[in-house]
């Protein structure tokens, strides 16, 4: 039996790799993929707590996180397609129309 | 034995997650992210959540990442945007901030012990479903009794997302 701290450690490391990916990459699509990685780290936390506390509410919430992530990916990719159609680049440094 | 599986899954997960942000081509990053999701499904199986594991593979690796790959390959980009941020010290700053976030999460976790989670016993008493033999039936019971309202709202959310996706990519609205 593996204590729950190990699963939470793995989820924390995965989450921080996602944070580093969001901060360090310039391609908007890879930033989006790192956001998905962060959501999955949270999913792992939910399932590990559900296993530890012997309740199923964590896994039900994972369900809803997956539904929200699917909706968010659809809209986010539509937005990125729209932006690329206008500016012909996915470099986030050049998406600066709202700057001062 | 279970520790061997755990260590293999952890090493695979961390290395494929690092490869996601290390690759230059977005197609390679997407493929490594699919590999990350497969390792994560292995974690869910280790935690006894087989329904969550299969739904994870179907939804994430089978639908969301395929959508990503469609968009990556359709946006046939001419400019070269592979790579990390430019500028003096920005990469180090990003790694430092990621390390701080990891440290904050570990600080909350390690010294206090995990059984000091408040509200654990009450949550265990409040749920009105037993652990049946399979995970699917248990989750189904809970989803249709206590969580019926979020379930319906999630379906409305998906319809809104569909409409939004169609509206956002039309040429004239």
pLDDT > 50? residue B144: yes
Q: pLDDT class for B77, splitting at 50, 70, 90? A: low
Question: What's the rounded Cα separation, in Å, for the pair B139 and B131?
Answer: 9
Given a cut of 80, whether residue B115 has pLDDT beyond it is no
Q: Which residues does residue A25 pair with via DSSP β-bridges, in sequence order?
A: B84
Q: Is residue B64 part of a domain?
A: yes
Q: Which pTM does this prediction carry?
A: 0.87
Q: How many domains does chain B have?
A: 2
Interface membership of B54 toward A (CB under 8 Å)? no
Chain A CA closest to residue B97: A20
Above pLDDT 90, what percent of chain B?
Answer: 43
What is the model's pLDDT at position B20?
A: 93
pLDDT score, position A54: 84
What pLDDT is stored for residue B122 in this prediction?
A: 47
Same domain? For B109 and B137 the reply is no
Q: Are B86 and B26 part of one and the same domain?
A: yes
Contacts of A14 in chain B (CB under 8 A): 13-14, 17, 36
Question: Across residues B9-28, what is the average pLDDT?
Answer: 92
Quick one: average pLDDT of B77-81?
58
Q: In whole angstroms, what is the distance from residue A77 CA to residue B26 CA?
A: 14
- B89 and B159 share one domain: no
Domain finish residue from B93, B118, B143: B118
* CA-closest candidate to residue B26, choices A27, A36, A70: A27
Nearest to B49 by CA among A42, A6, A43, A39: A43
Question: Which residue of chain A comes nearest to B99, CA vs CA?
Answer: A16
Query: Which of the four pLDDT bands, split at 50, 70 and 90, describes residue A5?
Result: confident
Mean pLDDT of B45-58: 92
| Co-location of B99 and B26 in the same domain | yes
Report the CATH number at residue A25.
Answer: 1.10.287.3510
Do both B108 and B27 map to the same domain? yes
What's the whole-number mean pLDDT along residues A68-92? 89
**Tell me, what CATH number does B93's domain have?**
1.20.120.1200
Total residues belonging to chain B? 173
Residue A18 has pLDDT above 70, yes or no: yes
State how far the Cα of B57 lies from the Cα of A66, in Å rounded to an integer.
11
Which ipTM did the prediction report?
0.92
Mutate which: B165, B166, B167, vs A, most A CBs within 10 A:
B165
Residue of A7, A38, A55, A82 to mutate when probing chain B, most B C-beta within 10 A: A55
Nearest residue in chain B measured CA to CA from A7: B43
Domain that holds residue B106: 2-118
CA–CA separation, A31 vs A33, rounded Å? 5
Q: Is residue B127 part of a domain?
A: no
The range of the structural domain enclosing residue A52 comes to 4-94
Q: Above 80 in pLDDT, residue B116?
A: no
């Amino acid at each position: 039996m593996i204590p729950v701290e190990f699963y939470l450690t793995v989820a924390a490391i995965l989450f921080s790799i996602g944070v580093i990916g969001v901060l360090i990459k310039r391609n908007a699509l890879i930033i989006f993929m790192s956001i998905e990685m962060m959501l999955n780290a949270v999913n792992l936390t939910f399932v590990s707590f559900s296993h530890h506390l012997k309740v199923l509410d964590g896994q039900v919430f994972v369900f809803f996180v997956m539904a929200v992530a699917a909706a968010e990916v659809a809209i986010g990719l539509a937005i990125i397609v729209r932006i690329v159609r206008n500016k012909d680049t996915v470099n986030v440094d050049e998406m600066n129309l709202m700057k001062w | 034995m279970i520790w061997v599986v755990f260590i293999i899954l952890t090493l695979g997960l961390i290395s494929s997650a690092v490869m996601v942000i290390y690759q230059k081509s977005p197609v390679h990053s997407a493929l490594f992210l699919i590999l990350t999701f497969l390792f994560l499904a292995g974690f869910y199986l280790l935690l006894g959540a087989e329904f969550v594991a299969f739904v994870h593979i179907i939804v994430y690796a089978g639908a969301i990442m395929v959508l990503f790959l469609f968009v990556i390959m359709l946006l046939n980009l001419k400019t070269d945007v592979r790579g990390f941020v430019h500028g003096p010290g920005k990469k180090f700053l990003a790694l430092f901030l990621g390390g701080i976030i990891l440290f904050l999460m570990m600080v909350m976790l390690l010294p206090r012990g995990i059984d000091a989670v408040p509200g654990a016993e009450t949550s265990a008493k409040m749920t009105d479903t037993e652990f049946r033999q399979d995970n699917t039936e248990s989750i189904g019971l809970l989803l249709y009794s206590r969580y019926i309202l979020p379930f319906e709202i999630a379906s409305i959310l998906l319809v809104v997302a569909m409409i939004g996706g169609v509206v956002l990519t039309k040429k004239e609205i």
